[in-house]
Amino acid sequence: MATHETHDKIINYIDFILKHPRELKYFSFDEGRTFIVDGNRIKMLPTEYAKFYQRDEFYISVDPDAKKVIYYAFDVENYTSDEHVNDSLGFFEWDKVSEQILTFLSLHLKELTTSTTPYTDIAEKKTSTSSSSSSHSRGTEAMARCHNSDYPYSGSTGTYSGVGSSSTTRYNYSNSYKEREVFNSKLTDLMKECKTAAAIDHIKENISKMCEEKKFENVDDILRWITFDKLNIPIMLTFLDLTRGADHILKQRKEFYDKVKNHLMKIKPARAGHILRNMEPGKEYKNVVKYEAK
């Protein structure tokens, strides 16, 4: 049974996280105190809600001020084209899930914040005695906007750079660096806005062009330095699909493939092989243009 104490503790945790936010794949803020979380992270849901654990994707939007919890769950028919089926959208009763939400925040506090001593820091603060006025929840809109992501980035705080090295190479570093930086910067912006379709178009246009122009070093550097944890499954598969014709040239494609495979084996072990069919490194592909090295 939910209590005022439970609600106050949730508000206290959220206010602390807002002051020390960490950018994560499974958790992001939407508006005010409203946050979106991977539903599988909320353990021990009531029996009538636990069925959503079985869906390929399951997200929960929590507005603690309004005590409103929205769920969105679906199965993915085709990860490359993002075709999904069995959509379910609705509300969870606050009193039935608030304890589980509090448990999630308590157990994951160290992951959710940049504070090095979050439990000590939060213990030193007084528990909130009142909540701010309810803000208009954009949970449904945000979740629909981000349904094709591994985890939505809407409202996430923090930044990241897609380039992780300052060392020079023997080819024209200045031009290649600028090209990669522009590519990564735009991709980052699109992912944070949950514009997966636009991000895929951006990848298709630029990676294909780089391969056609034989800028394989640039492609290798993108695969090497891009922050993998920020990518969702459709974007991962787009990179693999577009580089099949250069598999025999690219030095980083196999390592990138292994990262994708390991990721899928953790979250979708029964479907990983099916999803990655015709993406494997070292394989000859029919009807795929095979690029020639310089």
Residue 154 is predicted with a pLDDT of 37
The residues spanned by each domain of the chain are 4-145, 173-275
- Distance, in Å, from the CA atom of 218 to the CA atom of 238, rounded to the nearest integer, reads 17
Residue 116 is predicted with a pLDDT of 87
Distances (CA, A) of 259 to 68, 139, 191, 286: 36, 31, 19, 24
Residue 1 is predicted with a pLDDT of 52
Q: How many CB atoms lie within 10 A of CB 182?
A: 11
Length of the chain (residues): 294
pLDDT digits (tens, 9 = 90+) for 214-229: 999 999 999 988 888 8
Angle formed by the axes of helices 196-212 and 173-192, to 10°?
Answer: 160
Name residue 61's beta-bridge partners.
36, 70
Name residue 58's beta-bridge partners.
73
- b/e burial code for range 16-33 (CB count within 10 A of at least 16 → b): bbeeebebbbbbbbbbbb
Residue 271 is predicted with a pLDDT of 85
Residue 41 is predicted with a pLDDT of 92
Q: Is 107 helix (H, G, I), strand (E, B) or coil?
A: helix
0.85 exceeded by pTM? no
- Distance, in Å, from the CA atom of 71 to the CA atom of 60, rounded to the nearest integer, reads 4
Name residue 72's beta-bridge partners.
59, 89
pLDDT digits (tens, 9 = 90+) for 36-55: 999 999 999 999 999 999 88
| Tens place of pLDDT per residue across the chain (294 aa) | 567 889 999 999 999 999 999 888 889 998 899 999 999 999 999 999 999 998 888 999 999 999 999 999 998 877 666 678 888 999 999 999 999 999 999 989 989 999 888 888 887 765 443 344 344 444 545 555 554 444 443 333 333 333 333 333 344 445 667 777 789 888 988 888 878 888 899 999 999 999 999 999 999 999 988 888 888 888 999 999 999 999 999 999 999 999 999 999 988 888 888 889 889 999 887 778 889 887
Cα angle 154, 160, 166; round to 5:
160
